[in-house]
Amino acid sequence: MCRGCLSNVLGPIDDFRVDLSRGEFIAGSALVAGSLGAALPRRAYAAAEGADTIFRGGTIVPMAGTQRSVEAIAIANGTIVALGSESDVTAHKTATTRVIDLDGRTLLPGFIDVHQHTVTGALVTALFTDAGFPRYKTRQDVLNLAKELAAKAPTGGWVYLMNYDNLLQGGDLSMADLDAVSTSVPIMVYYINMHTATANGIAFEKAFAKANIPQDVQELPGGGHFGRDASGKFDGMIFEEPALKPFLIGVPPITPALAGKAVLDWLKTNAAAGNTTVHEAGVLVFGDLLQNYERIASQSPCRASISLMYDSMASGDAYKQHGVGAKATQIPDSLFSLYAIKIVGDGSNQAMTAAQTVPYLNSTQKGSMNYDPAELLKMVTAVKANGWPVSIHCNGDATLDSALDAIETVYGANPPTGVNRIEHCTITRPEQLVRMKKLGVQPSFLMNHVYFYGAAYRDQLFGTQRAYRMDPAGQCVEIGLPFTLHTDAPCSNIGTLQLVQTAVTRVCSIDDSVVGKDQAVSVEEAIKAVTVHAAGQIGMSDRIGTLEPGKEADLTILESDPFKVDPGAIVNVKVSQTWVAGKQMSG
């Protein structure tokens, strides 16, 4: 789904000589006022010191070794020091140890969402008006909202809507639709897939004039393009980041303090949903963005992990002193880390821009890659030369072919630089996953594709056979290929348990149909995907992901045991608390 983060879109547009100096707030988007000292130092545990905290009285699931559960776990200085029987663990108790009775609750390794867009989620919420499903059920509801906002817009102001869902709300919008709303107020409707938008005529006029875009413009570098009708006129559709950028000229200025609060609020929402680590998959860096990420990590309720966009790869050089490659580039005494360089290989299945080997259902369209195979190979070669793992966004199987060709040529199989990832990996062929297993390349599935779009993929986009193996977690288990689950928030809602439930049930929430039951997995495999395997995919399996002595105490505590509730009710399990490095962060 995703196309990097909003900072990519609001950044300088040198190619079109657009002056977006107001957008410089992104350089400080993670800046938070106040004291920003080092956070959560990790130091060695001495047996004589005893435990800071002991948890007992519930179900404690290590997700490591052969034990399904243990009776107690002890933490000291942010690190797990013991787990097992209550009698063994209480040997670490001292007069100052805090003993927490779980009272029947379930304690798991902290949940890890390996693919979100933190800055996007925070800022788009602050900048745009939500027009998403199910709040607005139909396209007419969205057009009514746009009309209401246009009537209130100040002179020179723009209307920006977000989260429009073309599959669930009634199809693509058009320039004519939005011109009927207003011909004087520029309107842009940003789709939830984050690859696509629609704008009215006055918005096109202003954006093209400011960016010096000619009327006969064709595809822009990086795959950006504009839709046209049968007569060759613009129809209002805007595809991919390079084409979306010019339409952000009406975004109001945001202060660093406001942006910083928005980012922290986003991370607090994650913590409340059970996440102890959030990986922002693809950050385009300019100004002091990385330094400000370090600052926000000192106050964040979650670990802040990021991958850099390909165009920002050089900004990671200053951090290589902390290591680069198979293990995350971990900033000392901080919750901030870096892992991998991201390349966006294609677009969105929902927009029919992801590159397929077989046309979309009832269509001749196959989508297209953002880079031809030779260019993609050159980019992957550069990532490897800089010592990083690579992360490639592939929604279509044609893009996946090229991505795997490039990875095999450049990295070979199971490289020492760490796990290379395929983001989303939505539409695949069975032999492609077998090839991934051979190369040590791992997929990360946006399982909410099934939750929200399973029926639409089946009936509108791909037909039964291809839709039933979308996000093919079942085959991964069958062949022993580790996989992870992610939300791609804000492309879908924050909530790891929804991912787990959908991986287990394969039920589409729109019509309650089961979409590809052969690709369903067990609760254990689904939880591994958001703990054990997720830690590995961000280079932190030595620190988090399982409950083992010596690892950091990242914990998610649930009111009920997801292994015991009805699989269709996992999403309703309440998150009680999260702990990061031995400190309670939510609940």
Q: Is 119-250 in CATH node 3.10.20.600?
A: no
Cα–Cα separations (whole angstroms), residue 452 to 45, 140, 197, 467? 46, 20, 20, 13
CB under 8 Å to 539, separation ≥6 — which residues?
Answer: 325, 326, 327, 328, 329, 337, 339, 340, 389, 418, 419
CB under 8 Å to 256, separation ≥6 — which residues?
Answer: 25, 28, 29, 31
Sequence-ordered strand ranges (E) for 447-515: 484-485
| Domain range annotation of the chain | 112-117+269-548, 119-250
What is the rounded distance in angstroms from the CA atom of residue 514 to the CA atom of residue 511? Answer: 9
pTM for the model: 0.86
- The hierarchical CATH code for the domain 112-117+269-548 is 3.20.20.140
Residue type at position 585? M
- Tokens 């369903």 sit at which residue? 520
Q: Provide the token pair at 5.
A: 């983060």
Burial status of residue 354 (CB atoms within 10 A of its CB: 0-12, 13-18, 19 or more): buried
Bridging pattern class, strands 303-309 and 275-283: parallel
Per-residue pLDDT of the chain in tens (587 residues, 90 and over written 9): 444 434 444 433 222 222 222 222 233 333 322 222 233 444 555 555 799 999 999 999 999 988 899 999 999 999 999 999 999 999 999 999 999 999 999 999 999 999 999 987 888 888 899 999 989 999 999 999 999 999 999 999 999 999 999 999 999 999 999 999 999 999 999 998 888 999 999 999 999 999 999 999 999 888 899 999 999 999 999 998 899 999 999 988 767 777 788 888 999 999 999 999 999 999 888 677 788 878 888 889 999 999 999 999 999 999 999 999 999 999 998 999 999 999 999 999 998 999 999 999 999 999 999 999 999 999 999 999 999 999 999 999 999 999 999 999 999 999 999 999 999 999 999 999 999 999 999 999 999 999 999 999 999 999 999 999 999 999 999 999 999 999 999 999 999 999 999 999 999 999 999 999 999 999 999 999 999 999 999 999 999 999 999 999 999 999 999 999 999 999 999 999 999 999 999 99
Query: Alpha helix (H) ranges present in 153-255?
Result: 166-169, 175-181, 201-211, 241-244
Largest CA distance in the chain: 81
Do 319 and 388 contact (CB within 8 A), yes or no? no
Residue type at position 559? E
What is the rounded distance in angstroms from the CA atom of residue 437 to the CA atom of residue 481? Answer: 5
